[in-house]
Chain A
């Protein structure tokens, strides 16, 4: 009762020699197939280096190319030789030259001896396989693939398209149900010999020799004909990236590999000295007796795939610069924009800071400079407050700010006096919560000491800018959470909207607001608007402000901060 290895070797012969020697000296016969592309001199040296071991054989050499039948041919020839020359072998383990045993051979022998009839081969029907790359799963079995994918990609793709166009289909031999799986298996003598000695083998071989990547389907399909005792998993730990290429293990994976409890891992970087030295030593610490558990390793590799395909949302950097619409979130975290609040309330920023415990900035897009919280001239990530730098690339400014402050909610003021280039980005960003008191930009004008004609001019300009901005916020493309009140509606009953906003920010207060910000006095504001109208302008964004002075609050002046029960 024993296990023998079939080893397919292409490169890094010195490492293959080390591993083959390890197995052979632990009483496991090894049959090695060396790619015909390996130079004769190298091959001879390789054979010579292992000549001191009598349980190592070299099988007939084929020229191997990834994805082609040659790999199956190679493993067939080597398996036949192994079964024929080493009668005591019960399990045959297919490995590659870049495999590395992670646990002592004795443990593998025991493990297999306890499961004498079990075939370890991943074998899954095509419908259940999510990991095929390039959209070829079912079609691997029904189309023809005479051209090399590696060397003649255009012909390969063109021929696939041609066959699809003419709905060409090959017939799958009777009785075969296509299965796929990892090409690294461990089969019993009984099953493997049944596959190799089948009277119909010539038919199957002819069929599979034109299948795409047959080494992932030949044994995986045929094994279903001869055995019911199949553990559909590979004993070899092998991880694939998003393009179907195997991940490579390095010295820094030592601990992970140890903890995986798998028997064999591939693919090992040939220069990973520590891995080879560590795992090929007779280290009793390696004996764990545990079931293979690749889960821990899975996590870091699936994270790598996710990073490569989805990336970190809201991050723009040298190797992630998504096309419009592919950002997977324009920014990295939720933030809030307040428009008109700082104009209407004297102490809005301080008040908001107290209420929500977020970072509250002034007008970040103000014409003179970015008004960072606390009047800082540089902010997180060393963002400069220079208006020129900001306006040079406003989107980069916003996304950097939100990225740099991950973990801390950002709030800032915005309005029609600010640089508007960011307007659409704000509207389209699902992370933005935007609260607008439309028309509030008129309040500072009301208080300004300028000539009325210039006030009128500016009011017209600001109104137009805000109207454009509101159109963006209300457009079909807007994804931000937007709330808009007219100035008139808002001052009618300010507490309710303020409560809503704070609740939506949902940071600190689960309770009712106890303190309101101080609103500037609007006495005479109605008349001010009427004056604008009389000058031929039509201020409409404020809503309906009664001309007759002051609203109902007008009497009790000077206004005081009021408490709400």
Chain B
């Protein structure tokens, strides 16, 4: 499930990536694209497209749309809710498809599966390596921060609140509280009584947010590789800033715009180059838990 606007260039790789993982059907809300995204999606045999020209902001950043569609169509199914620039990686992703994961979650009576956002970035300035349609974005944005994340509990919903990574380091070093949340719970065995509260950061009922262990152990978890920082980013940030449709008065995008003027390089000598899920598990960014 996804909501998007003007992401045509990303779609071919996005659909291929998730088809390869074993996704059977895509549910997409197109928020008034004018770059052919909707037409492209409508042609696909396994995509259902809804269109809305209503305000992204007033739909609480698309969450209301997706909650409604999930309630109508996803009851009893495993649903993966991601943005078109988020790519789900989970333990054994190279040898076991999504169905193996969801079957195991079913067998273990687990209803929700956490996957934090890892911001990926290229070496060098964002515009130095242009992204082309169909390309694997992580051929370009293959670097990430391996160990600068800060976690606290959200007492209201019981989820963890994770911040950090290159966005905190480069865009919010003076105002960490504003750094975007990286915690996500994208995979849920949907029930019509469930609802996402704020993006896919947390859900109701609260029990679904307990994707972490509190007694020292590790639950199984994955990550969402975030292909935000590509050559397409500057134009996107500008557009989003103009539309003023983003969270917290688009504070995030204002910070980007301020930095983007100097054409920043997020890469540093301690950046880690992405290899595979095992690397992420060794680094402690995700865990196999007791899935072996």
Q: Write the residues of chain A forming the contact surface with B, with a CB cutoff of 8 angstroms.
A: 241-243, 245, 247-248, 250-252, 269, 271, 300-301, 303-305, 307-313, 315-323, 326-328, 378-384, 386, 388-389, 392-393, 396-397, 400, 403-404
Output the least CB separation between B202 and chain A (Å): 13
B177 within 8 A of A: yes
* Chain B residues closer than 8 Å to A380, beta-carbon distance: 147, 270
Question: In whole angstroms, what is the CA distance A382 to B119 when docked?
Answer: 13
Question: In whole angstroms, what is the CA distance A303 to B107 when docked?
Answer: 20
Within 8 A of A (CB), among B87-135: 92, 95-97, 99-100, 103-104, 107-108, 114-116
Other CB < 8 Å A-B pairs besides A386-B169, A396-B150, 4 of them? A304-B292, A317-B287, A318-B211, A319-B287
Question: In whole angstroms, what is the CA distance A381 to B215 when docked?
Answer: 25
Stretch at the interface among B1-9, B70-78, B216-224, B230-238: B216-224
Question: Chain B 120-157, CB within 8 Å of chain A: the 1/0 string?
Answer: 00000000000000000000000001111111110000
Within 8 A of A (CB), among B191-222: 211-221
Stretch at the interface among B13-21, B39-47, B160-168, B246-254: B160-168
* Chain B residues closer than 8 Å to A388, beta-carbon distance: 173-176
B286 within 8 A of A: yes
Question: In whole angstroms, what is the CA distance A312 to B218 when docked?
Answer: 8
User: Can you list 27 A-B contacts (CB < 8 A)?
Assistant: A241-B108, A245-B108, A248-B107, A301-B292, A304-B288, A304-B292, A305-B290, A312-B284, A318-B115, A318-B160, A318-B221, A319-B221, A322-B216, A323-B215, A326-B214, A327-B216, A381-B146, A382-B268, A383-B148, A386-B173, A386-B174, A388-B176, A389-B150, A389-B168, A393-B151, A393-B176, A396-B164
Output the least CB separation between B96 and chain A (Å): 5
B81 within 8 A of A: no
* Chain B residues closer than 8 Å to A384, beta-carbon distance: 148, 168-169, 173
Known A-B contacts A252-B95, A312-B284; the reply to A382 vs B292 at CB < 8 A is no
Question: In whole angstroms, what is the CA distance A242 to B290 when docked?
Answer: 8
B95 (CB) vs chain A CBs: closest residue? A252
Q: Write the residues of chain B forming the contact surface with A, with a CB cutoff of 8 angstroms.
A: 92, 95-97, 99-100, 103-104, 107-108, 114-116, 145-153, 160, 162, 164-166, 168-169, 172-177, 183, 211-221, 268-272, 284-292
Known A-B contacts A242-B290, A301-B292, A384-B169; the reply to A379 vs B218 at CB < 8 A is no
| Inter-chain contact B95/A250, CB cutoff 8 Å | yes
Output the least CB separation between B156 and chain A (Å): 16
| Inter-chain contact A309/B176, CB cutoff 8 Å | no
A256 (CB) vs chain B CBs: closest residue? B292
B292 (CB) vs chain A CBs: closest residue? A304
Output the least CB separation between A275 and chain B (Å): 12
| Inter-chain contact B213/A310, CB cutoff 8 Å | no
* Chain B residues closer than 8 Å to A307, beta-carbon distance: 217-218, 287-290
Question: In whole angstroms, what is the CA distance A317 to B286 when docked?
Answer: 7
* Chain A residues closer than 8 Å to B95, beta-carbon distance: 250-252
A272 (CB) vs chain B CBs: closest residue? B100
| Inter-chain contact B215/A326, CB cutoff 8 Å | yes
A242 (CB) vs chain B CBs: closest residue? B290
| Inter-chain contact B150/A382, CB cutoff 8 Å | no
* Chain B residues closer than 8 Å to A400, beta-carbon distance: 147-149
* Chain A residues closer than 8 Å to B285, beta-carbon distance: 317-318
A248 (CB) vs chain B CBs: closest residue? B104
| Inter-chain contact A382/B217, CB cutoff 8 Å | no
* Chain B residues closer than 8 Å to A241, beta-carbon distance: 108, 290
| Inter-chain contact B151/A316, CB cutoff 8 Å | yes
A323 (CB) vs chain B CBs: closest residue? B214
| Inter-chain contact A382/B216, CB cutoff 8 Å | no
* Chain A residues closer than 8 Å to B272, beta-carbon distance: 382
CB < 8 Å neighbour of A308 from B152, B160, B289: B289
CB < 8 Å neighbour of B162 from A245, A318, A392: A318
| Inter-chain contact A378/B270, CB cutoff 8 Å | yes
* Chain B residues closer than 8 Å to A381, beta-carbon distance: 145-148, 270
| Inter-chain contact A319/B289, CB cutoff 8 Å | yes
| Inter-chain contact B168/A319, CB cutoff 8 Å | no
Output the least CB separation between A49 and chain B (Å): 23
Q: Which of B107, B150, B168, B285 has the most CB of A within 10 A?
A: B150
Question: In whole angstroms, what is the CA distance A303 to B217 when docked?
Answer: 12
B289 (CB) vs chain A CBs: closest residue? A308
B97 (CB) vs chain A CBs: closest residue? A271
Question: In whole angstroms, what is the CA distance A269 to B92 when docked?
Answer: 14
Output the least CB separation between B152 and chain A (Å): 7
Q: Which of B151, B166, B213, B218 has the most CB of A within 10 A?
A: B218
Question: In whole angstroms, what is the CA distance A250 to B183 when docked?
Answer: 29
A311 (CB) vs chain B CBs: closest residue? B218
Question: In whole angstroms, what is the CA distance A518 to B153 when docked?
Answer: 46
Known A-B contacts A252-B96, A317-B151, A382-B271; the reply to A308 vs B214 at CB < 8 A is no
Question: In whole angstroms, what is the CA distance A407 to B67 when docked?
Answer: 46
Question: In whole angstroms, what is the CA distance A241 to B177 when docked?
Answer: 39
| Inter-chain contact B153/A321, CB cutoff 8 Å | yes
Q: Which of A242, A318, A393, A403 has the most CB of B within 10 A?
A: A318
Output the least CB separation between A31 and chain B (Å): 26
Known A-B contacts A307-B218, A318-B160, A320-B212; the reply to A269 vs B103 at CB < 8 A is yes
Question: In whole angstroms, what is the CA distance A293 to B272 when docked?
Answer: 40
Question: In whole angstroms, what is the CA distance A392 to B287 when docked?
Answer: 26
| Inter-chain contact B287/A269, CB cutoff 8 Å | no
Question: In whole angstroms, what is the CA distance A386 to B215 when docked?
Answer: 31
Output the least CB separation between A317 and chain B (Å): 5
| Inter-chain contact A382/B213, CB cutoff 8 Å | no
| Inter-chain contact A404/B146, CB cutoff 8 Å | yes
A389 (CB) vs chain B CBs: closest residue? B176
| Inter-chain contact A320/B145, CB cutoff 8 Å | no
| Inter-chain contact A310/B216, CB cutoff 8 Å | yes
Question: In whole angstroms, what is the CA distance A400 to B211 when docked?
Answer: 21
| Inter-chain contact A243/B100, CB cutoff 8 Å | no
Output the least CB separation between A455 and chain B (Å): 31
Question: In whole angstroms, what is the CA distance A111 to B55 when docked?
Answer: 72
Output the least CB separation between A248 and chain B (Å): 6
Output the least CB separation between B188 and chain A (Å): 15
**What 4 pairs between A and B have smallest CB-CB spacing?**
A381-B147, A308-B290, A319-B221, A304-B292
* Chain A residues closer than 8 Å to B168, beta-carbon distance: 384, 389
Q: Which of B99, B103, B219, B284 has the most CB of A within 10 A?
A: B284
